[in-house]
Structure 1
Amino acid sequence: MPEFISLNGPDNVGKTTQLRRLAEHWSGFQPLGAVHEHDPEPWERVATEGYARWWFEISTTVELTEMLLASHAKRAAARGADRTGLLDRGLPMLFAVAAATCAVKDGLTVREAINTVSGIAGSQTALPETSILLLPSLDPERSYAITSAREGRPWTGIYPAYQKSLHAALLHQASHGMYTAVVNCEGRSLDDVHADVLDRVGAHVPVPPHGSPR
Structure 2
Amino acid sequence: MQGVADFLSLNGPDNVGKTTQLRRLTGLWNGFQLLGAVHEHDPEPWARVAANDYATWWFETSTTAELTEMLQASHAKRVAARAAGRIGLLDRGLPMLLAVAAATCVIKDGLTVREALATVTDLAGSRTAPAETSVLLLPSRDLERSYAITSAREGRPWTGVYPAYQKTLHAVLLHQAGRGTYAAVVDCEDRSPDDVHAEVLDLIGDHLPVSSLKDGSP
TM-score scaled to structure 2, two decimals? 0.94
Give the C-alpha shift of residue 210 in structure 1: 9.4
- Structure 2 CA distance for aligned equivalents of residues 169 and 91 of structure 1: 14
The corresponding residue for 2:160 is: 157
Residue from 2, 5, 26 that aligns with 1:2 = 5
Alignment CA distance shift 1:79-1:169 (3 Å): same
1:54 aligns with 2:57: yes
Percent identity over paired residues: 74
Deviations 1:145-181 (A, max 9, x none): 1000111111111001100110000011111111000
Whether the 8 Å CA contact 1:2–1:204 is kept in 2: the answer is no
The corresponding residue for 1:45 is: 48
Residue from 113, 117, 140 that aligns with 1:137 = 140
In the TM superposition, 1:1-214 aligns within 5 A as 2-208=5-211
Whether the 8 Å CA contact 2:68–2:101 is kept in 1: the answer is yes
Q: Which amino acid aligns with 1:196?
A: E
Give the C-alpha shift of residue 107 in structure 1: 1.1
Partner of 1:208, secondary structure, is helix
RMSD: 1.5
Alignment size in residue pairs: 212
**Worse-superposed segment, 127-136 or 200-209:** 200-209
Whether the 8 Å CA contact 1:96–1:166 is kept in 2: the answer is yes
Q: Which amino acid aligns with 1:170?
A: L
Give the C-alpha shift of residue 125 in structure 1: 2.0
Q: Which amino acid aligns with 1:78?
A: A
- Gaps of at least 5 residues in structure 2 are none
- Structure 1 CA distance for aligned equivalents of residues 203 and 179 of structure 2: 18
Q: Which amino acid aligns with 2:63?
A: T
Give the C-alpha shift of residue 182 in structure 1: 0.0
- Structure 1 runs (4+) greater than 4 angstroms displaced: 209-212
